[in-house]
Amino acid sequence: MSTFRSKLAQLRRQLPFIPATVRLVWQASGFWVLVWVMLLLLQGVLPVAIVSMTKSVLDTLTAVFKKGGGNVPASSSMLLQVVVLGALLLGEKILSSVGQWIRTIQNERLQDYMTGLIHDKALELDLGYYDSPDFYDRLHRVRIDAMHRPLELLEGMGNLVQHSLTLAGMAVLLVAYAPWIPLLLLAGTIPALWVTFSYTGRLDQWWQRNIADHRRSDYFDWLIVMREAAQELRLFDLGNHYRASYQQLRAHLRGEKLGMEKRKLLSELGAEAFALMTTAFAMFWMITRTIAGLAGVGDIVLFYQAFAQGQQLMANLLRHTGEIYRNVLFLENFFDLMHTQSRISDPVAPLPVPVIKESIRFEGVEFHYPESDRQLLHDFSLTLKAGEIAAIVGENGEGKTTLIKLLCRFYDPEQGRVTVDGCDLRELRQSEWRRQVTVLFQEPVRYNVTVGENIAHGDITGNPLPADILRAADASGAYDIITRLPNGFDTLLGKWFGGAELSAGEWQRVALARAFLRNAQLIILDEPTSMLDVWAEARWFSRFRELAAGCTVLIISHRLTTTMQADVIHIMREGGITESGTHKELMNLKGSYYKAWESRGDTPSS
């Protein structure tokens, strides 16, 4: 009883999603929804008209035979009825084909519309959500189901209306023989109703329980077939390992799913056997009436067609009800995602972005990632002076990259603040502040588009000119690389669509050009020279100083030959700054920077 009450409460909670879904479908394909509704009404009435016309044809045919076939008016009437019946049957087929065409139109429009909504939400939410496996599970299911669930829900409701109209017409025909016949028809479908709802609930629970395993199996499949992992899978002989992992996971999911389907099949067989028994009883009753002379051939044909179609319609109603219930369960996930609010928001009255004249400061910042208990920054303070090139050095995991994310306002500090000339970043509009920041990330995206487009992505809204793209390529050291490509800046990159492939260092130069293209006040470079040799590094840094003149620069690097050329170097350990100064000052201090410099083995002595 408690389970029934919980399901009832769940259904009441989910019912508001139905009108919301109807609005979605209307927004995606309004005119075609009206056409579809008109078709549903016609398709709901036609079967009743066909059954009635079939009875009329048989009754007229019986009358013609009884009078020896010589009754011309009766024969003419029968011919007209046959023509009308044929027209009704043809109309039914035409409406079915037109309905399929309209559903295809709706499906294509709705897929694009729903995908657009999901893309908008994915781009709106802050990075913290992408640290959550639960969010990925929800997003994974919504992305899969969004392609078909809303239209299935609408079609389920439409079919419910259509079949209800037809069933009501059949019930009217059956009531004429006995008022209890429709009740018998209803009784025959009760077991099927139980099967439908119990299976739907179990299937949804199974999906919720195994969504992480479905996502994991997709990941194993991606590793096996995609180029990114191809080298390591072959070198370290990992192919069989991941293939076995995929097969094992799929065997587990397949076994559970087939087990549910088996139980459903057995239950459906029992429900269908019960429905067949009710049909047999109804037909036996009708045959006895016919033998007793209380009904004719047309009556028994009409009764059989109406009762058999009524049972099929009841089964369809139950199936569509189950589909509606299952689709409503999905819609709860979808609307939950749509109502998710980003934790990083713009202020009601944002301040104008200041020109950096003094400094960017971290003031008593406390921070840990949402899905982690590890405190990365504790009472962290740092000043980046305007127009200065600052470098941060530290071991992996100290929180250096986290500083970039806070500066870009991908996250907000839990305590403390990040300021620009005394203005808290939370008082600025995100998009306006980020326009003043450019970043070379440690693992930049390799866009499979042309070289020119790759670089233009650094300022896509600014519609950069070819001359701007060329200057950025020259500043990053990518120009010589690009001129050696088959079509220069028009060369397609990446193997996804058959383009040219670059080395890791060449990709880094292109990404650096992308960062340089933006005319920003703050330049952040995460490991900008990791792919360069020592001599190329020195030449690049000399060009970079000229390019970055007047900008505030933050460089994060493990290469001391890079950081030594900065105006100031900060040593980061255990979530704080332990040493600061120029290369010479830190060497004289003989602290951790001095020890790291003395222990290096890849650069000449100072």
pLDDT tens digits, 113-136: 888 888 888 888 888 887 777 777
Residues in a beta bridge with 573:
576
**Chain segment 517-533, per-residue pLDDT in tens:** 888 899 999 888 776 66
Average pLDDT over residues 170-179: 77
**Chain segment 425-461, per-residue pLDDT in tens:** 999 999 899 999 999 888 888 888 999 999 999 888 8
Looking at CATH, the fold of the domain delimited by 23-338 is given as ABC transporter transmembrane region fold (1.20.1560)
> Is residue 603's pLDDT more than 60?
no
- State the Cα–Cα distance between residues 145 and 329, nearest whole angstrom: 11
Q: Taking CA 458 as the corner, what is the angle to CA 455 and CA 463, rounded to the nearest 5 degrees? A: 85
pLDDT at 532: 64
- State the Cα–Cα distance between residues 452 and 389, nearest whole angstrom: 28
Chain position carrying tokens 């009766």 = 74
Q: Which residues of 219-236 are buried (b: 16+ CB within 10 A; e: fewer)?
A: ebeebbeeeeeeeebeee
Q: Which residues of 268-286 are buried (b: 16+ CB within 10 A; e: fewer)?
A: beebbebbeebbeebeeeb
CATH number of 443-519: 3.40.50.300
DSSP code string of 2-63: HHHHHHHHHHHHHTTHHHHHHHHHHHHHHHHHHHHHHHHHHHHHHHHHHHHHHHHHHHHHHH
Q: Give this prediction's pTM.
A: 0.70
396: left (phi over 0), alpha (psi -120 to 50) or beta: beta
**Chain segment 182-214, per-residue pLDDT in tens:** 777 777 777 776 777 677 667 777 877 887 888
- State the Cα–Cα distance between residues 267 and 344, nearest whole angstrom: 50
**Chain segment 210-268, per-residue pLDDT in tens:** 878 888 888 888 788 777 777 777 767 788 888 888 899 989 988 888 888 888 888 87
> Is residue 291's pLDDT more than 80?
no
Calculate the average pLDDT of the chain: 81
Percent pLDDT > 90 in the chain is 22
* Environment class of 360 (CB within 10 Å of its CB; exposed 0-12, middle 13-18, buried 19+): buried
Residues 122, 139 contacting (CB under 8 angstroms) = yes
- State the Cα–Cα distance between residues 277 and 218, nearest whole angstrom: 46
* One fold for 23-338 and 443-519: no
- Domain boundaries, given as residue ranges, for the chain: 23-338, 353-436+520-606, 443-519
> Is residue 326's pLDDT more than 50?
yes
Average pLDDT over residues 13-17: 68
**Chain segment 353-391, per-residue pLDDT in tens:** 999 999 999 999 999 888 778 888 989 999 999 999 999
Provide the token pair at 406.
Answer: 């806070």
> Is residue 320's pLDDT more than 60?
yes
CATH architecture, range 353-436+520-606: 3-Layer(aba) Sandwich (3.40)
- State the Cα–Cα distance between residues 452 and 461, nearest whole angstrom: 15
Q: What is the distance of C-alpha 301 from the center of its chain?
A: 51
What is the sign, positive or negative, of the torsion defined by CA atoms of 432, 436, 441, 444?
positive
368: left (phi over 0), alpha (psi -120 to 50) or beta: beta
- State the Cα–Cα distance between residues 179 and 171, nearest whole angstrom: 9
Percent pLDDT > 70 in the chain is 86
pLDDT at 386: 94
Q: Residue 79's pLDDT band (boundaries 50, 70, 90)?
A: confident
pLDDT at 9: 63
